[in-house]
Structure 1
């Protein structure tokens, strides 16, 4: 098991159907972190307009 640093105040986690990506909602800094489970690194930090309190991924992984 590896700890991957993400944004401030992570509130929710969701994995895509393949398990290759994990998405973390970070409420305090209004971001969504995208983690690659292949190499356990944050591959993107997506800004949001408001504090994200939850996250979900569609079955086809086209929508987060």
Structure 2
């Protein structure tokens, strides 16, 4: 990703004025970890649905629903 030099300088200036050193606080790191975890869940769910759809189509659309399966 390319960032304009002026934009980057502006961001650095804002951080310095705010008294930050560019590192994340403990709550910010925890939130980032939580958001990253949440972000992976939909991808895993989409993959599971795709695999189920392939299985369903491979047997001609006749399958039993597994316990706990919710489309």
Sort the TM-score into its range (normalised by shorter chain).
Answer: under 0.3
Higher RCO, Cα 8 Å, sep 6+: 1
Larger proportion of helix = 2
- The structure carrying a bigger strand percent of its residues is 1
Larger Rg computed on CA atoms = 2
When the two structures are superposed, what TM-score results if normalisation uses the length of structure 2? 0.19
TM-score with structure 1 length normalisation? 0.21
